[in-house]
Amino acid sequence: MLHNGQYCLTGLAFPISQYEGNCTAVNKVKFRDQVINETYQCDPTDNESFCIYEYNLTEYNLDAVETGSFSRPCKCGLDGDTGYCSSILGTPEFKEGAAAIKNLFSQNQCHTGDRGDYRAMKESCCLAKDKEWDEAAEWNFKINNWPYVQRGESG
């Protein structure tokens, strides 16, 4: 399921046939049957509970009748006490980050072997401005390390 959405703005799609999928977005993220906010904070000491991501299976409409879900574990943040859901796939935060990364990659004229290399994209072969590169690099790190870049409520 996770590869079905690689061409979707939210990174998430559900299969409708062997070779097709429909793009969708996560409507809500829950932990222990409670909706959690956009930092997706959870309890990392409870290994039996997972973050549940609910998404729409009918139309791209947040008031959907039929929903699907997938789960991801809660992981410890760097403060050692607070946990966060391990993925933001399908969320508005993922969509924002993916848009920044796409913007950078669309301005890339680097050699094919360097197209995924952020260091190479700092050179003249990439037409992006420094601010665009910085934003894309930051979002790439956030998407891949979500639990570790969050701060606890006291932080």
Q: What is the pLDDT of residues 45-95, one digit of tens each?
A: 988 999 999 998 876 555 656 889 999 999 999 888 899 999 999 999 999
Look up the pTM and report it: 0.83
- What's the pLDDT band for 155 if we cut at 50, 70, 90? very low
CB 26 within 8 A of CB 38: no
Please say if the pLDDT value at position 1 is more than 70.
no
> pLDDT tens digit string along 91-142?
999 999 999 999 998 988 888 888 788 888 888 888 889 999 999 999 999 9
Dist. CA 105–CA 120, nearest whole Å: 11
The DSSP bridge pattern shows strands 41-42 and 83-85 to be antiparallel
**Gyration radius of the chain over CA positions:** 17
